[in-house]
A and B are shown apart, each in its own frame.
Chain A
Amino acid sequence: MDTAQLLQPEAEMPGIDTGEFVVGAIAGDTGAFEQLYRQFSPRIYGLCLRMTGQREAAEDCTQESFIAAWKALPRFEQRSRFSTWLHRIAVHTVLSRRRGLRNLYEVAEPATGLPEVADPGSGSPPLDIEQAIASLPDGARHVLVLVGIYGYSHAEAAASLGIAEGTCKAQLHRARSLLAATLGLEEK
């Protein structure tokens, strides 16, 4: 399944004409843009939360993504889906923020505080998959979120993340292996 299929606005808000809101927002109607926020913020927040692994950062990135989208709307070519375009902005926002605040994030405690790999012999209960994803290294987590959860192709994810397609595949493999180990799946 490709990104366009996953991000179909019609599937998210049946009966609502997203195009009408997009046209209104392009014309400068903030009310129309707020409707777009209402419709797409759960998807964008979910993406940002999983990519950053931190709630506060995800909130900031969601806000910045919509503000950036508002500024960029005059350049939006309606040949592509608004949701796909907005997704791209969100990914870019997360990555830009990450680069800009690298030091801040790297000294911050992970949201979950989970160990990277569970000790199979410790008898501890299986870890929640969301927590396990949040504990993944950045590169592996970004690829897993885009490809494994949001259905990007490797080519799309690689382009969005600015990495080679081969690197993208390697990162997904790494993410899966780490997740399987963290969740104790290899022992079953």
Chain B
Amino acid sequence: MTEPARNSLDAQLAKLPRDLPPPRNLWPGIARGIERGALRNPQRHRPMAWAAAAAVAGACLASALTWVVLHGRPNSPSAPIMAAQPSYGDVTTARYVAARDSLEQTFQQRLASLDPATRAKVEASLATIRKAHEDIRQALVAAPASPVLEQLWESTWQDEFDLYDRVVQATQPTMTRT
């Protein structure tokens, strides 16, 4: 490509307006889309995965509470055995955080009662889930509109709560016998 051709092309490109008004008003379609997707907006409605996670958390807490009431006091709290928790910058709902912390506390107490090999496997699984969650969260910052990433991100929350639930449920019979 010759220099004059390049300069001529650059001049033509530079003259192009960056703004091109849409030929029709697109807002009504956007408003409809927003209305249809309103259930997915965390500002007014908790996302499905969070709701599912909260439901699991509630069930686990209720289960733990029932166990405490029916079988006496739980094991004494053990020292934290998991690595420092990664930063979940998107968690903003105080009630959700409180429920999650309570559930995690119960989970950690139950985790301490597991044999070392099983506990190591659980901790490794949890670390993998949290690593995936953080990786996806960072990817979402770069591509916030990706529905696939959003779905994956939500699924990691569910995976974490599922793991909590499985550990709590699995350790309950053992603890009742002691």
B42 and A74 within 8 A (CB): yes
Question: CA of A186 to CA of B30 in the docked complex: distance in angstroms?
Answer: 44
In the complex, chain A residues whose CB is within 8 Å of the CB of B41: 28, 70-71, 74
In the complex, B86 has a CB within 8 A of chain A = no
In the complex, B9 has a CB within 8 A of chain A = yes
Contact with B along A71-110 (1 / 0, CB 8 A): 1111111000000010011001100100000000000000
In the complex, B94 has a CB within 8 A of chain A = no
In the complex, chain A residues whose CB is within 8 Å of the CB of B20: 42, 45-46, 49
In the complex, A20 has a CB within 8 A of chain B = no
In the complex, B8 has a CB within 8 A of chain A = yes
A78 to chain B, nearest CB (A): 13
In the complex, B17 has a CB within 8 A of chain A = yes
In the complex, A171 has a CB within 8 A of chain B = no
Among A37, A85, A129, the residue within 8 A (CB) of B30 is A37
* Identity of the chain A residue whose Cβ is nearest the Cβ of B145 in the assembled complex: A68
Question: CA of A32 to CA of B33 in the docked complex: distance in angstroms?
Answer: 16
In the complex, chain A residues whose CB is within 8 Å of the CB of B44: 28
Among B4, B21, B90, B142, the residue within 8 A (CB) of A45 is B21
A129 and B19 within 8 A (CB): no
A6 and B22 within 8 A (CB): no
Contact with B along A52-81 (1 / 0, CB 8 A): 000100110011111111111111110000
A188 and B5 within 8 A (CB): yes
Question: CA of A185 to CA of B6 in the docked complex: distance in angstroms?
Answer: 8
Q: Which of B1-42 contact A (CB under 8 A)?
A: 1-2, 4-6, 8-10, 12-13, 16-24, 26-27, 29-31, 33-34, 37, 40-42
B31 and A30 within 8 A (CB): yes
Question: CA of A148 to CA of B16 in the docked complex: distance in angstroms?
Answer: 10
Contact with B along A33-52 (1 / 0, CB 8 A): 11001100111011001000
A75 and B144 within 8 A (CB): yes
A34 and B27 within 8 A (CB): yes
In the complex, A111 has a CB within 8 A of chain B = no
Question: CA of A64 to CA of B146 in the docked complex: distance in angstroms?
Answer: 11
In the complex, chain A residues whose CB is within 8 Å of the CB of B37: 67, 70-71
In the complex, A179 has a CB within 8 A of chain B = yes
In the complex, B43 has a CB within 8 A of chain A = yes
Question: CA of A149 to CA of B10 in the docked complex: distance in angstroms?
Answer: 9
Interface residues in chain B, defined as those with a beta carbon under 8 Å from any beta carbon in chain A: 1-2, 4-6, 8-10, 12-13, 16-24, 26-27, 29-31, 33-34, 37, 40-44, 90, 92, 140-147, 150
Question: 6 smallest A-B Cβ distances: which pairs?
Answer: A46-B20, A68-B145, A42-B19, A67-B33, A72-B144, A185-B5
Q: List 26 A-B contacts (CB under 8 A).
A: A6-B18, A12-B19, A27-B43, A41-B27, A45-B20, A46-B17, A46-B18, A58-B22, A66-B30, A66-B33, A70-B30, A70-B33, A73-B43, A74-B43, A75-B140, A88-B143, A89-B145, A92-B143, A129-B12, A144-B13, A176-B6, A185-B4, A185-B8, A185-B9, A186-B2, A188-B8
